[in-house]
Amino acid sequence: MLEGSCHCGAVHWVCDGRPESATACNCTVCRRYAALWAYGFESECITVSGASSVYVRGDSLGFHFCPACGCMAYWRALAAGPQGRRRMAVNLRLAEPRIVVEIPVRRADWLEETGGLAADGRCIGDYWV
């Protein structure tokens, strides 16, 4: 189980299990947030608590951040998918580094909209130190 919270502690998330990797996305939104995402589904493997503000991008995603300290905490699909499940991702940068430091990072190239995921052998700890 992984946990993370914003700087002031008002917004909190829990991710059951340990993700195989974190995603560093370079799309027009994520590159500005500098988040490292771990994916799952709402109320299945990810739970969130605390009041958040949301920035809605397009017609598919809401990016949730703390209204007090401004930390980007997670994104959530605006609608459930075909199987009734709502996709989410939590920002692993809000977890304690020692817990996530060895999780491999994959780069998602959405700036050019190719979408491919590439691994280069780096882990979260390589981004923080």
CATH code, domain with 103:
2.170.150.70
Choice between 29 and 6, residue whose per-residue pLDDT is larger: 6
pLDDT in tens, 36-71: 999 999 999 999 999 999 999 889 999 999 999 999
Q: CA geometry: angle at 95 spanning 129 and 5, to 5°?
A: 135
- What's the pLDDT band for 109 if we cut at 50, 70, 90? confident
Q: Which residues contact 38 (CB under 8 A, 6 or more apart)?
A: 2, 15, 19, 22, 23, 89, 90, 92, 103
**pTM for the whole structure:** 0.86
pLDDT in tens, 9-41: 999 999 998 999 999 988 889 889 999 999 999
Q: Token pair of 29, please?
A: 């939104």
Q: Find the domain containing 35 and state its range.
A: 2-128
Choice between 22 and 124, residue whose per-residue pLDDT is larger: 22
Q: How many domains, the chain?
A: 1
